[in-house]
Amino acid sequence: MDVRLPPFQTLLRDHAEEVYRFLAGMVGPRDADDCFQETVLAALRAYPGLRDATNLRGWMLTIAHSKAVDEHRARARRAVPVERVPERAVPGSNDGVALWDLVRDLPPKQRASVVHRYANELPYREIARILDVSEAAARQNVREGLKKLKEWV
């Protein structure tokens, strides 16, 4: 079957904000830019060889997810054992923003599931596909993540 890939610009137009929001949730606004760029470059490299164009949004988010995980690992390697440094002191920052800082302390799969679910409102079926887990596991991840957040708040 012939794959009809749309111009890459169309993907960017349709999905850039969602990918960015996901990355901001995953790695924080400060590192989201770098991760976003890595995501776009990786997607561009792979794009002409893509054999399935049915879920390009999911494909972009999957790449973004792996870039966010890379970033986290890199950060863990860089990390020096001091207590958590506040990520930002935005004037007028509210509880919501602080809550997203906590989201980034969740284990990777729970974090990704919570961000997909609440930042981008993806259906569980889609989250399961992106994270390559069962739908039940995706639900479980979100539930566990929320439970932890409630404990921490």
Partner 1 sequence: MDITEAAHRDYATEAAAASARAIAAARREGLIDVAYDTVDTPFGPMLVAVTPKGLVRIAFQGEDFEDVLTDLAARLSPRVLEEPKATQAARRELDAFFAGRLRSFDLPLDWSLSSGFALRVRKATYRIPYGLTSSYGEVAAKAGNPRASRAAGNALGSNPIPIVVPCHRVLRTGGALGGYGGGLDMKTALLRLEAPML
If binding is defined by CB under 8 A, does position 14 make contact with partner 1?
no
Alpha carbon distance 76, 69 (integer Å): 11
Q: Using the rule CB under 8 A, give the single segment among 42-50, 63-71, 72-80, 128-136 that binds partner 1.
A: 42-50
If binding is defined by CB under 8 A, does position 21 make contact with partner 1?
yes
Binding residues for partner 1, how many (CB under 8 A)? 43
Q: How far is CA 35 from the centre of its chain?
A: 10
In 79-123, alpha helices (H): 95-103, 108-118
Alpha carbon distance 128, 64 (integer Å): 15
Q: Residue 14 corresponds to which tokens in the numbers above?
A: 């349709």
Contacts with partner 1 by CB under 8 A lie at 4-10, 12, 16-17, 19-21, 24-25, 29, 32-33, 36-37, 39-41, 44-45, 47-48, 94-97, 99-100, 103, 114-115, 118-120, 146, 149-150, 153
